Amino acid sequence: MVSSNDFKNGMTILYEGNIYKILEFMHVKPGKGGAFVRTKLRNLRSGAITDVTFNAAEKVQKAEIIKVSMQYLYDTGDALCFMDNETYEQIEIPHDLVDYERKFLRENTNVEIEKYGEEIIGINLPDKVTLTITECEPAVKGDTKTNALKDAIVETGLLVKVPMFIENGEEIIVSTITGEYSSRA
């Protein structure tokens, strides 16, 4: 059990039967009445963000999230297959659980799988990944305005805005947080 006074950003808790990650918290001591803790929580199962207020020193159960290093192998059509780097055990994660993350996954990419007990909560991607451009418009001659961007589609199907000098077949580095072009590989 953990007290609401000991909350930290990134901590995971069990609350009302769900697993939540604390995104923000603030201790409030009004002039009248008792102190309380205002929090912004993300439901790790559904992704929904909610605001919850706890009384000061209210106890909640801490959720122990296990992070396992795994390698992405392939897409089965309705799930993604991953292999544990130590035990070589393979697991499949349905597309609906990793819909955003799969846009950045290329075969043999190492990721962290978050588990609560045996339940898979999600995937932690590296901050930046290297992807190959499969479709890209040619640069228009004379279009030299500052920060001119064009559309490019990478090997995973993700649409990325890239600078005019990037061409088909090039490898680029894409941020997994924003989904934007970062640099050439």
Q: What domains does the chain contain, in order, with CATH numbers?
A: 2-62 (2.30.30.30), 66-124 (2.40.50.140), 129-184 (2.40.50.140)
9: tokens are: 């950003």
> What is the predicted pLDDT for the residue at 51?
94
CA-closest candidate to residue 128, choices 74, 177, 169, 71: 177
Which pTM was predicted?
0.72
Q: Tell me how far apart the alpha carbons of residues 123 and 95 are, in angstroms, rounded to a whole number.
A: 12
Write the pLDDT tens digit of every residue in 159-173: 999 888 888 888 999
| Beta strands in the chain, from DSSP E residues, in sequence order | 2-3, 12-15, 18-28, 36-43, 49-55, 59-62, 66-75, 79-84, 90-94, 110-116, 119-124, 128-136, 149-154, 159-163, 171-175, 181-184
- Res 64 pLDDT > 80: yes
> What is the predicted pLDDT for the residue at 141?
66
Give residue 144's pLDDT band: very low, low, confident or very high (50, 70, 90). Answer: low
Give residue 143's pLDDT band: very low, low, confident or very high (50, 70, 90). Answer: low
In single-letter form, the type of residue at position 61 comes to: Q
Mean pLDDT of 121-144: 82
Write the pLDDT tens digit of every residue in 28-39: 888 888 889 999
Write the pLDDT tens digit of every residue in 41-59: 988 888 789 999 998 888 9
Residue with the two structure tokens 């990944």: 129
Least confident of 53-62, 78-87, 130-139: 130-139
| Secondary structure (DSSP) of 113-159 | EEEETTEEEEEE--SEEEEEEEEEPPPPTT---TT-EEEEEETTS-E
Residue with the two structure tokens 């909350």: 7
> What is the predicted pLDDT for the residue at 145?
63
> What is the predicted pLDDT for the residue at 165?
85
Mean pLDDT of 83-92: 90
Least confident of 69-78, 121-130, 145-154: 145-154
